[in-house]
Amino acid sequence: MKIETKKTNPPVKQVGSGRISPNKNRIRTYKQPDTKTSVKKTFPESKAKVIPKAINSENIRIITLGGVEEVGKNMTVIEYKDDILVFDCGIQFVDEDTPGIDFIIPNTKYLEENKDRIKAMIITHGHLDHIAAIPYIIHKIGNPPIYAGNIASLLIKKRMTEFPHLPEIDIKIVKPKEKFRLGNLGVKFFEVTHSIPDSMGISVETPYGNIVLSGDYKLEHVDEIPTEKEKENWGEIGKDNNLLFISDSTNAEKKGFSVSEKYIRGNIEEIIKNINGRIIVGAFASQFNRMIAIIEMAEKYNKKVILEGRSIKTNLEIAMRAGIFEPKKGTLIQAKDISAYPSDKILVLATGAQGEEFAALMRMSTKKHKYISLNNRDTVVLSSSIVPGNEISVQKLMDNLYRHDLKVIHYQISDIHSGGHGREGELKWAAKMVNAKYFMPAYGWHSMLKVHAEAIKSIGVKDKDIVIPDNGSIVEISDKGKKIQIIKEKAPSNITMVDGFSIGDIQEVVIRDRQNLAQDGIFVVIATIDTNTGKLRKSPDIISRGFIYLRESKDLLKQARYITKKTVETTIKGMKPINFDLVKKEVTDNISRYLFQTTKKKPIVIPVILGV
């Protein structure tokens, strides 16, 4: 939920002049909007972070570089003696706190400092929150070999083609049940159920027992009884002497078991079978398995399929290349040929169920699609949930769809979507199967981790045996496995942003300016000083955007001109030569204060002071 906030903070002093003439007293801390107070967000604080020394002892370290204070940018590190293994390398999509930023990636400073010891990067599955930061990170940490399942490796290679200037990466494809050693550690892969094929959990063998990383997972089950296959996969891992279980928390706040994918598919099949007229299905492209299932159903009921949206096309291509699915000849048709087929033979599979502005579904709904125009005989099936934060855009999409008087079926009306993450009941079942001494919830916001930990306590794991990390936390297992704790030192965890081609953690000023610009606009004051007389040549000019409507604010303008004139003339009185930086600073301070007092807004004030 988003809450509209009225800002009541005093004006930030350095704004505007700080950028034109660097001011030593500039406030460097990022000011956080007062929304979302429930969540701690670590924006850049100080740069002088102490990077903890590499360990020399017999202790094992688990370092969470991302993914435990958000859903996204997953990265977990396991370190023992001279060996470091890195698990996953994802991105997090951004929100209104970081306008104009493409996305956020894990902070890998710790790994960069210790790159000589990195033996491998290991990928659990091919979703963007687990792989998409690879091009930005892999070379900075010494380009270690990447171990990934088939689909994940194809998706990584595809992503690397967008960065042709980067050196080659070394990908090795692994399968479930495969095991090998990497330095002092052993790794073993096992199959888990998720919404994309080739999803795996990993068991890491250490001298004190195994550390089991779940990756993203749910369970296939019938009436909350996991299938034989689940029992076999997890049971096999449970046979080991397990020290620590690191488990997916994304859906921990939901009780019971997730709705089984089989049941969902049954419902979608009923719709495809019974609906007359065209069917337009909006789905997540990341839900590989469902996308394939829908195409197979269309084939079963003799329908042609139109794929709309780049990510859906790409992912189907990857599935075909991986050899897991091949549509029958003639099933796929082009959108431009839609009118050549009777409408009850058409199924459109489209991206944009989250109401994304330029995605296929939205373009159809707003009559901007080149070939597909909706009508009242169509049925739109939204086989996806609403990702938190997208409520308004999904609502707009729904309204636009309903304007065509067509039929909309969504997940609140009918069970046609289930996420890829297990709920409380599934998480407890998996933890029991793994039966590890210690437990660490991962992948999710802090609240999800806490709720997950409570659930695990209810099955008998003691409080002292559970650790709940933040980004950058260093978990240490000491005394030959007898003790687990989060140590005082932290790995650097301030946010690393990707903004176009630049990557970095020093953009807090840029972000704050963008927020100010977006919220309160810009106010430019131009004044020309006659250096002989020390007076202004004429009344100052004022340009403003996104702040207030100037034509209706004559008094404010008059007052701002007066303040500028007075500030300039008082500041430079007796000053020779004129210190323009000081004049600009004074004008910024006085104008900012005045504008805030009168309007309660903090536009970025830029003084342009010229001397003639």
Query: Which positions are annotated as active-site residues?
Result: 248, 421
Instruction: Describe the strand order of the beta sheet including 179-182 as a list of residue ranges.
Output: 179-182, 185-191, 200-206, 209-213, 242-248, 438-442
* CA–CA gap between residue 275 and residue 555 (Å, rounded): 64
396-415 footprint of Zn ion as x/- string (CB under 5 A): --------------------
* CA–CA gap between residue 33 and residue 574 (Å, rounded): 42
> Smallest distance from the beta carbon of 376 to Zn ion, in angstroms?
37
Judged by CB, which is closer to Zn ion: 14, or 289? 289
For helices 261-274 and 288-300, angle between their N-to-C axes, nearest 10 degrees: 30
How many Cα atoms occupy the beta-carbon half-sphere of 279 within 13 Å?
29
Does position 127 bind Zn ion by CB under 5 A?
yes
| Residue 257 near residue 221 (C-beta atoms within 8 A) | yes
Q: Quickly tell me which residue has 């299932």 as its tokens.
A: 293
Judged by CB, which is closer to Zn ion: 196, or 498? 196
| Residue 173 near residue 165 (C-beta atoms within 8 A) | no
> Smallest distance from the beta carbon of 122 to Zn ion, in angstroms?
15
Which amino acid, 173? I
Binding to Zn ion, residues 185-244 (CB under 5 A): 216
Residues in Cβ contact with 508 at an 8 Å cutoff, skipping those fewer than 6 apart: 28, 29, 30, 43, 44
Judged by CB, which is closer to Zn ion: 205, or 216? 216
Size of the site for Zn ion (CB under 5 A): 2
Q: What are the structure tokens assigned to 568, written together? A: 């300039």
Which amino acid, 147? Y
Does position 265 bind Zn ion by CB under 5 A?
no
> Smallest distance from the beta carbon of 152 to Zn ion, in angstroms?
10
Q: What angle do CA 284, 288, 294 make, to 5 degrees?
A: 80
* CA–CA gap between residue 25 and residue 18 (Å, rounded): 9
Does position 261 bind Zn ion by CB under 5 A?
no
**For residue 205, how many other CB atoms are within 10 A of its CB?**
18
Q: DSSP per residue over 17-79, as a string?
A: HHHHS--TT---SPPPPSS-TTS-------S-PPPPPPP-SS-EEEEEEESSSBSS--EEEEE
> Smallest distance from the beta carbon of 124 to Zn ion, in angstroms?
8
**For residue 223, how many other CB atoms are within 10 A of its CB?**
6
Q: Quickly tell me which residue has 């006659």 as its tokens.
A: 530
Pairing of strands 304-308, 535-536: unpaired
Judged by CB, which is closer to Zn ion: 127, or 303? 127
* CA–CA gap between residue 64 and residue 446 (Å, rounded): 13
Residue 485 pairs in a beta bridge with 476
Binding footprint of Zn ion on the chain (CB under 5 A): 127, 216
